Structure 1
Amino acid sequence: MPPTDASTDTGAGPAPQPGGGVEDTLDLRLPEELLALFRKDEMPAEPHRPAGEEDSSGDLLDNLADWAPVTTSVGLFQLVPVRIDRDLSLLTRWMNDPAVAAFWELAGPESVTAAHLRAQLDGDGRSIPCLGLLDGTPMSYFEIYRADLDPLARHYPARPHDTGIHLLIGGVADRGRGIGSTVLKAAADLVLESRSRCARVIAEPDLRNTPSVSAFLSAGFRFFAEVDLPDKRAALMVRDRVLRNLL
């Protein structure tokens, strides 16, 4: 789970306590063939796709690099996948801003930021680091990721194709003026428009990060629950497709 000031999670009930049930006293060893059948039955069914709709199983985030820019009240906004050779210096500078470092915990030399980016870029495509451009100028960093395939899914009732957002606003001049909420809403709506099988956009900002929580609320996310993640106490935030025109 990437360290960020925006992510997702909801508790699905208290965890079982050791010694509290029959499971702790039995050592059942089922045949592998039977276990395979159980696993097959438990797999969620793939949502129905209309005839002609591309099966994006080979691209977990539906060709994010091709998502079109959108017009907002503060300018033309676009998500552009990060290239380390082009963007590393800028992102390292942002990660060393004390306001950012307090929650992302990636302060340090370029090698620290590079390692964080490569973990995503060299992965299977379930998380894509992006620059947020406003009128062609980089002003924010996003991570768009498959929340349903992330360790986060162990902490809330995930649904197939849930998509998560992590965000930081790079320039100090772009903070505290509503710009963050505007580009956050634009990014969330881009996800919903570009990923037809995604019904929810998820975020889990640190509860201590009041400006981040406020930005998500202003961007049309609703508060779902407080959750304990391995590295923080988070506010689980959700932007629903069915409510996007109301919030």
Structure 2
Amino acid sequence: MPPTDASADAGTAPVTDIGTAMSLGARDGRIAEAGLGADSEDTLDMRLPDEIVAFFAEQPGAAGDQSSGADSRLFASDSDLPNVDDLLDHVAEYGPVSTPAGVLHLVPVRIERDLPIIDRWMNDPAIAAFWGLAGPRNATEEHLRAHLSGDGCSVPCLGLLDGTPMSYWELYRADLDPLARYYPARPHDTGLHLLIGAVGDRGRGLGGTLLRAVADLVLDKRPACARIVAEPDIRNTPSVAAFQSAGFRFSAEIELPAKRAALMVRDRSLRHLL
């Protein structure tokens, strides 16, 4: 859970763009007819995933373990930061995915390569209003390094559309994130944050198209994941609408430390209905 918004259109989409989302009542009726309401119920499951138990068992100081516990492969950065294998089933290996807007490829961030463009996007006033990383470049760098030097629960990515960098993404284990304190998390819940960099790419429905494609990609690559979640700022109506158009349902309003958020959920069981 970042201290900022998971904005799909950076708050710049016109109000008319919101009309593309299906109404909540219409979606609820389809869910009821399909008999799938129970599958999407937001309940709390406190079971610790087996992979997390194994992960901590491999860390330095664990009984009988003298190794570093870190994967010997480089994770996402060329820096000297410690690296661990991600807990999202190898985001770097997800590969490209076709969308109605073109071929999207999520590439894990490398600071030396990607910091300039991400920092430029973060200093766009429309994006800065929700992400809060405007200013000196080191603010964005520290944000990225916090993800890259972490425990593998969050992977920042550059989004390439037909080979052109145009968006920034964060995929994260919502069940292992501070966000889990504020909603009934389930094991393997996967969270999404998105910003679209170019002004010309905002406000024309592209956010919803890409969010749907990435949510489907995560569900395909992470069989243990039953839900994709997001928590855009409740004031960012275009962002909430983008998630709705991508098949996410509005679950609740939640009070987070830095914002009041709309908890958006995309259920595996409903992915072909919404």
Q: Does 1:96 align with 2:99?
A: no
Map of 1:38 onto structure 2: none
Map of 1:135 onto structure 2: 162
Q: What does 1:58-207 align with in structure 2 at a 5 Å threshold?
A: 59-207=86-234
Q: Does 1:217 align with 2:220?
A: no
Map of 2:2 onto structure 1: 2
| Equivalent in 253, 265, 271 of residue 226 of structure 1 | 253
User: Given that residues 4 and 167 in structure 1 are in contact (C-alpha distance below 8 angstroms), is that contact kept between their aligned partners in structure 2?
Assistant: no
* Residue identity (%): 70
User: Given that residues 5 and 212 in structure 1 are in contact (C-alpha distance below 8 angstroms), is that contact kept between their aligned partners in structure 2?
Assistant: no
Rounded Cα–Cα distance in structure 2 between residues aligned with 1:45 and 1:108? 39
User: Given that residues 4 and 166 in structure 1 are in contact (C-alpha distance below 8 angstroms), is that contact kept between their aligned partners in structure 2?
Assistant: no
TM-score, scaled relative to structure 2: 0.72
Q: Which runs of 5+ in 1 are unaligned?
A: 13-41, 48-56
- What is the CA-CA distance between 1:45 and the residue it aligns to? 5.8
- What is the CA-CA distance between 1:46 and the residue it aligns to? 4.3
- What is the CA-CA distance between 1:132 and the residue it aligns to? 1.0
Aligned residues: 207
Rounded Cα–Cα distance in structure 1 between residues aligned with 2:228 and 2:94? 16
- What is the CA-CA distance between 1:59 and the residue it aligns to? 3.6
Name the CA shift for 1:180/1:43 in 2 (closer, same or farther; >3 Å): closer
User: Residue type of the partner of 2:237?
Assistant: T
Q: Which runs of 5+ in 2 are unaligned?
A: 8-41, 51-83
- What is the CA-CA distance between 1:5 and the residue it aligns to? 2.2
Largest Rg, 1 or 2: 1
Rounded Cα–Cα distance in structure 1 between residues aligned with 2:48 and 2:168? 34
- What is the CA-CA distance between 1:43 and the residue it aligns to? 5.6
**Helix, strand or coil: the match of 2:188?**
coil
Output one character per residue of 1:75-114: Cα deviation in whole Å (capped at 9) or x when no partner.
0011110110001010010000000000000001111100
Runs of 4+ residues over 4 Å off in structure 1: none
Name the CA shift for 1:207/1:43 in 2 (closer, same or farther; >3 Å): closer
Rounded Cα–Cα distance in structure 2 between residues aligned with 1:127 and 1:236? 18
User: Residue type of the partner of 2:3?
Assistant: P
Map of 2:38 onto structure 1: none
Name the CA shift for 1:122/1:75 in 2 (closer, same or farther; >3 Å): same
User: Given that residues 88 and 114 in structure 1 are in contact (C-alpha distance below 8 angstroms), is that contact kept between their aligned partners in structure 2?
Assistant: yes
Q: Does 1:246 align with 2:273?
A: yes
Name the CA shift for 1:165/1:45 in 2 (closer, same or farther; >3 Å): closer
Q: CA RMSD in A?
A: 2.0
Name the CA shift for 1:136/1:44 in 2 (closer, same or farther; >3 Å): same
Rounded Cα–Cα distance in structure 2 between residues aligned with 1:245 and 1:176? 25
- What is the CA-CA distance between 1:6 and the residue it aligns to? 2.0
- What is the CA-CA distance between 1:2 and the residue it aligns to? 1.2
